[in-house]
Amino acid sequence: MLRNIIFDLGGLFIDVYMDRTQQQLEHLSGCKLDDVLAKLKSTGLFDAYETGKIETADFLGQIQSALPVQLTTEQIKEAWNAVLGDFHRERLEGIQPLRSKFRTFLLSNTNELHVTGFEDILERKYGFRSLEPYFDKVYYSQRMGLRKPDAAIYHQVLVENGLTASETLFIDDSPANLIGAKQIGLHTAHHAPNADIVLTLQEFGLFDH
């Protein structure tokens, strides 16, 4: 019997477009950056930033140094946050009826710039910044020192909240992120990126059609 639901953030409640950062950096620099960004990824820079192992200034500086054309840190910051699309408050509101039956959690691979970015979107559009009121607890990888799909990140959420894996559903738009969850016995559901999360919940039988 399901008693708990852990939701991803990007692609469920906020639209994300992962190719936009490279597109904007290439537009600003006038250069193709496939090799540069692939090399940065291979160094573990992006994962380190998402797990809070490096500060934002260092992160931006390393990207700045790697680019073949000099860009300001503000330009890089804007390009980094270009992945963030529209935030859908109606989707947050749409899952609230579930809280009478389930404990709900948010678990996102994210970083300081993206958190500030989507909080700015929330404040500008809706007048609030925190997602805490919409879930029993909110977890961000940068604050945990772990990231999906490492099984340890799911285990930490379970342990801290006294959850049983077999009673918990994890929903994410990345199939890779479901792997670690399955390894520790969570139920999983794949969500189509940027689609309405309520539709996925209906397909899983948690809402009436």
148-183 residue pLDDT tens: 999 999 999 999 999 999 999 999 999 999 999 999
Under a CB-based contact definition with an 8 Å cutoff, are residues 24 and 78 in contact?
yes
What kind and span of H or E run contains 4?
strand 4-7
* Mean pLDDT, residues 108-122: 97
Exposure string over 20-56, b if 16+ CB within 10 A, otherwise e:
bbbebbbebbeeebeebbeebeeeebbebbbbbebeb
Query: Closest Cα partner for 111 from 192, 6, 21?
Result: 21
DSSP label at residue 96: G
Helical residues (DSSP H) of the chain, grouped into ranges: 20-29, 34-42, 45-50, 56-66, 73-80, 89-95, 112-126, 141-144, 151-161, 175-183, 197-203
For residue 105, the cross-strand partners are 6, 137
Is the pLDDT score of 208 beyond 90?
no
**pLDDT tens-place string over residues 26-79:** 999 999 999 999 999 999 999 999 999 999 999 999 999 999 999 999 999 999
Under a CB-based contact definition with an 8 Å cutoff, are residues 102 and 205 in contact?
no
Domains, the chain = 4-16+86-203 (3.40.50.1000), 20-83 (1.10.150)
Pairing of strands 14-16, 187-190: unpaired
**pLDDT value for 209:** 45
* Mean pLDDT, residues 131-156: 97
Six-digit token string for 105: 């959690």
CA distance 183 to 193: 23
Rounded to 5 degrees, φ, ψ at 49 are: -70, -40
Helix 112-126 with 73-80: angle, nearest 10 deg: 70
pTM here is 0.96
Under a CB-based contact definition with an 8 Å cutoff, are residues 141 and 148 in contact?
yes
Is the pLDDT score of 188 beyond 70?
yes
